[in-house]
C-alpha cells in the first residue's frame, strides 16, 4: 500500500515551473489550423450576398448599391461556411481571435 502519493506529487509541482501561461504579458502561440477571425480582400468582392444568405449566425450584411461589406464581430462564430460558398474566394480565415470589444459595433469594409 502506497502512502503519501498525493503529497509527493504536490511537493514536486511546487518546485517546477507553473503549467499555466502568463497571458497577456506572454503572448499565446496559435496553431496553423486555429479558426479565428474572418478577413476579406474587398477589391475582389462582387457583392453577390451568397455569404449573407448562408451564414448560420446571420452576422453579415452586404450592400450592393453602396459597395459595403459589414460584419458583426460579436455574432460571428468562426465556422468558416462563408469561405466555402464565396464564388470569388475573397474571404480568408486568420488564426488569431479578434480583440475584445468595448461596445457593440459592426466593422465596415468599403470597396472602390
d(CA 61, CA 50): 10
User: Closer CB to other proteins, residue 44 or residue 75?
Assistant: 75
Helical (H) or strand (E) element with 13: helix 5-14
CA distance 88 to 90: 6
- Of 46 and 77, the one with the shorter C-beta distance to other proteins is 77
For the bound state, the minimum distance from the C-beta of residue 53 to other proteins, rounded and expressed in Å, comes to 10
Task: Give the nearer residue to other proteins in terms of CB position, either 6 or 99.
Answer: 6
Q: Residue 76, CB half-sphere, CA atoms under 13 Å: how many?
A: 25
Nine cell digits for residue 7: 503529497
Minimal distance in Å, beta carbon 65 to other proteins?
A: 27
Q: Choose between 17 and 103: whose C-beta lies nearer to other proteins.
A: 17
Residues engaged in binding other proteins (CB under 8 A): 1-2, 5-6, 9-10, 13, 19, 31, 33-35, 54, 56, 77-81
In angstroms, give the least distance from the CB of 79 to other proteins. 5
How many other C-beta atoms lie within 10 A of the C-beta of residue 51? 24
Amino acid at each position: 500500500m502506497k502512502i503519501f502519493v498525493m503529497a509527493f506529487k504536490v511537493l514536486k509541482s511546487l518546485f517546477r515551473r507553473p503549467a499555466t501561461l502568463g497571458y497577456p504579458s506572454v503572448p499565446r502561440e496559435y496553431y496553423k489550423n486555429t479558426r479565428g477571425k474572418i478577413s476579406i480582400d474587398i477589391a475582389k468582392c462582387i457583392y453577390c450576398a451568397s455569404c449573407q444568405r448562408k451564414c448560420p449566425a446571420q452576422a453579415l450584411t452586404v450592400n450592393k448599391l453602396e459597395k459595403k461589406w459589414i460584419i458583426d464581430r460579436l455574432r460571428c462564430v468562426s465556422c468558416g461556411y462563408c469561405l466555402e460558398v464565396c464564388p470569388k474566394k475573397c474571404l480568408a480565415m486568420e488564426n488569431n481571435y479578434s480583440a475584445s470589444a468595448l461596445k457593440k459595433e459592426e466593422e465596415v469594409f468599403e470597396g472602390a
